[in-house]
Structure 1
């Protein structure tokens, strides 16, 4: 399946909320306060009659939200299967490389897709992170210089 990455807009908040089981208002704030990119199914690969299908809505496959604090890009949310998540992680990495920043991402240990995507995208585990809802996490870091 072909995937296109695009900027999220306020109208995407409802869809994003349904993906991560949060209220649309909370995701609307995320869209306003952070950089948010969506992975969507590439409509050009949908077939010759895709443009005449009823309810021709875009299929959102996942998203990444990130911001910058203290010279580090922080991935604050990531949703999607392993392949989509890896593609989405390329967005904060690209930004960080251009700015000379590291990227940090904290992943719950039960999120195997996110852990696999982080490793595949070049992140290294650097130790435990804070607990999220009582669940242990691992802190991952991507260093553009490879150190």
Structure 2
């Protein structure tokens, strides 16, 4: 007798590789932005303001922490959008990551983080390519 857990694991393993990749990428690009967005309000992982180029607060005249609150809200929304509308949400995440990369390059530090975020940007674009207009949810 198969348990529900075994049936779910078996179903995932029998999916086409592109569909497995879609689910993996959608999961990561849902969870990560939401967690990082929430951390902008708590600063448990790091002090996020050190990653903000001073020009950002010159353009948007708020404190660096207030800017991070806005960033956190956008990241949470982006993660939710990836979950419910992966084709659109993945593009939002890709554009957001491009903005982060530009900010880091303007800051003149953290080139390693900028390179990592470029890899994430490519992953978000791959999710977009794997997200057909008719969403995977309709395909049984």
TM-score class, shorter: 0.3 to 0.5
Name which structure has the greater RCO, CA cutoff 8 Å, separation 6+: 2
Name the one with the larger strand percent: 1
| TM-score normalised over the length of structure 2 | 0.32
Point out the structure with max Rg over C-alpha: 2
| TM-score normalised over the length of structure 1 | 0.31
Name the one with the larger helix percent: 2
